[in-house]
Chains A and B, each alone.
Chain A
Amino acid sequence: MRRPLGILLPILILIVWEIAARFINNQFILPRLETVLPVLLSPTIDILGTGSLLHNAMVSLERVGAGFLVALAIAIPLGVGMGWSRRLDALADTTIQLLRPIPPLAWGPLAIAWFSVGINSMIFIIFLGAFFPILLNTIDGVRAIKKTWVEVAQTLGASERQVLAKVVLPGAAPTIWTGLRVGFGIAWMCVIAAEWLPGTTSGLGYLTLYAYNFGQMHYIIAGMITIGIIGIAFDLLFRSVEDRWFCWRGLER
């Protein structure tokens, strides 16, 4: 029952959109559905010389992937350390709380100054977007580890390294995974904005901005819908893994 109901509203929006587009009758404000759909349905056709929808989506995904991997490679070990050691937490916590509220895109000018125009500054911004949710969830996950689990492992002869690898990491994994899911979502938002930085010549973010210069609203909307669909697809992927691997979550006894 939930699924049909969830699809109802998007269909309604499409109908309202089409009616409104016919009523407004101005493709620079709201293009009609039938101009957007063909763009979505032929994702391999070149758009305004920037490459196809699919090509630009892959470019954006690669950037997100790179920034996301750097973020998790740093955030997970740091988070485990901060969750496990009070001393490391005391050392790093204030700095992290200060940096966290700064929107990743506010780093844009610095990113360009440090990494110059191009892929590296974009990866840096995506990294910042994904880093904090992963870090904070990892810290929370490690802190929520039941003391008994650790003590059982110790009495069975586990070294501290074994406790970390065989108890703390798997025990915190569901929460860390939530951090990865949220982090990926934010990274995906960041890539679109990062592709608006000067000097970019590809990606879904660039495509939408470029199409605007030509008043090609149907390309913009097709790009936005693609961004949304890819975002949902990854969220579903993360959730399905969560359901499969961490079915024990919330059932610790």
Chain B
Amino acid sequence: MKLAIRDLSKVFVTGTGEQVPALDGINLTVDDEEFLCILGPSGCGKTTLLRIIAGLDTPTTGSIQVDGEALSGPSRRIAMIFQEYSLFPWRTVLDNVSFGLEVQGRDREERFAVARKYLDLVGLASFERNLPYELSGGMRQRVAVARALATEPAALLMDEPFGALDAQTRNLMQTELQEIWRKTRKTILFVTHSVDEAVFLADRIVVLTERPGRIREIVPVQKCPHPRDRTCADFVEIRRHVLDLISGGSSD
């Protein structure tokens, strides 16, 4: 899926009528099958950008085109994965993963077959009868990934999906996500505030400025081959460059 974001801005109006600009003049093209990370400090509007693409928020100005067609509201071709609290706690793992197919009206047998396929992909085939509270944080996010994949969208939006996990689980999940991306070839937009995570995962990193979020620079990472070695020279160099961008970002 190809995403074209044109002159997008978002201004929030608070309860007292105050206008708070969150995003300003965002122009960005995301290529088909690209893994794009959006990186920026807290409150820079990166989550807002993702929510607008997901159809959960509307831009104040500008537009988004999906494969040449204007985006309006949530689309079946785009799935979103949230940081936490996203699984339905009353549904088993299998019922969570098949939710999207259920609301599409697919019959039970079919949706369970598809759900099982994606549970298998994330390595949780044997947990289909469990309830979310019985799973660890990393397993819950795997279920969330499987649920998003089960509707077979062209693009995945991920809003700091590993932000609530411990460092070790986080690294493991990053490797697994890389693997899933390689197998499924989805377009992925991944929001994070971790430089390391962005450099490890992305084809390109979009570095945003502080509020209101503007694109500071788009850093290509393709020259570092997957699976990436966090200690290789290219990785370290790109990482340093991105860190410089972020720490210098507050001065302008």
User: With contacts A157-B104, A252-B133 known, is A151 near B82, CB below 8 A?
Assistant: yes
> What DSSP secondary structure best describes chain A's contact surface?
helix
- A239: Cβ under 8 A from any B Cβ: no
Extra inter-chain contacts (5) besides given A166-B102, A248-B90, CB under 8 Å: A146-B85, A149-B86, A151-B56, A151-B80, A252-B85
* Total A-B contacts with CB atoms under 8 angstroms apart: 77
18 A–B contacts from the bound complex (CB under 8 Å): A146-B85, A148-B86, A149-B86, A151-B82, A153-B99, A154-B56, A155-B78, A155-B80, A156-B76, A156-B79, A156-B103, A156-B148, A157-B104, A166-B103, A171-B88, A247-B131, A248-B133, A252-B133
- A134: Cβ under 8 A from any B Cβ: no
Sorting the interface of chain A by its residue count into under 10, 10 to 19, 20 to 34 or 35 or more gives 20 to 34
Q: Smallest distance from the beta carbon of B207 to chain A beta carbons, Å? A: 26
Residues of B within 8 Å of A159, CB to CB, are 103
- A81: Cβ under 8 A from any B Cβ: no
Residues of A within 8 Å of B55, CB to CB, are 154-155
A-binding residues in B (CB < 8 A): 54-56, 74, 76, 78-80, 82, 84-91, 99-100, 102-104, 131-133, 137, 140, 147-148, 151
Q: Contact: A248 with B89, CB < 8 Å?
A: yes
Complex CA–CA separation, A173 to B89 (angstroms): 12
Interface residues of A in 180-217 (CB under 8 A from B): none
- A96: Cβ under 8 A from any B Cβ: no
From A153, A156, A158, A253, residue with most partner B Cβ within 10 Å: A156
Residues of A within 8 Å of B90, CB to CB, are 170-171, 173, 246, 248
Complex CA–CA separation, A167 to B86 (angstroms): 11
Taken residue by residue from 112 to 155, chain A's Cβ proximity to chain B (1 for < 8 Å, 0 otherwise) reads as: 00000000000000000000000000000000001011011111
Q: Smallest distance from the beta carbon of A160 to chain B beta carbons, Å? A: 11
Residues of B within 8 Å of A166, CB to CB, are 99, 102-103
User: With contacts A148-B85, A152-B86, A170-B90 known, is A158 near B80, CB below 8 A?
Assistant: no
Residues of A within 8 Å of B88, CB to CB, are 149, 152, 167, 170-171
With both beta carbons as reference points, the residue of chain A lying nearest to B84 in the complex is identified as A253
Q: Which 8 A-B pairs have the closest CB atoms?
A: A251-B133, A156-B100, A248-B89, A158-B103, A155-B80, A252-B89, A157-B76, A162-B103
Q: Smallest distance from the beta carbon of B106 to chain A beta carbons, Å? A: 11
Q: Contact: A152 with B82, CB < 8 Å?
A: yes
Residues of B within 8 Å of A157, CB to CB, are 74, 76, 100, 103-104, 151
Complex CA–CA separation, A146 to B78 (angstroms): 21
Residues of A within 8 Å of B91, CB to CB, are 170
Complex CA–CA separation, A157 to B88 (angstroms): 15
Q: Contact: B103 with A153, CB < 8 Å?
A: yes
Cβ-neighbour of B140 out of A152, A248, A253 (below 8 A):
A253
Q: Smallest distance from the beta carbon of A151 to chain B beta carbons, Å? A: 6
With both beta carbons as reference points, the residue of chain B lying nearest to A173 in the complex is identified as B90
Complex CA–CA separation, A149 to B56 (angstroms): 13
Complex CA–CA separation, A173 to B133 (angstroms): 17
Complex CA–CA separation, A158 to B105 (angstroms): 10
Q: Contact: A156 with B99, CB < 8 Å?
A: yes
Q: Smallest distance from the beta carbon of A119 to chain B beta carbons, Å? A: 37
Cβ-neighbour of B80 out of A152, A171, A248, A253 (below 8 A):
A152
Complex CA–CA separation, A154 to B56 (angstroms): 8
Complex CA–CA separation, A139 to B151 (angstroms): 32
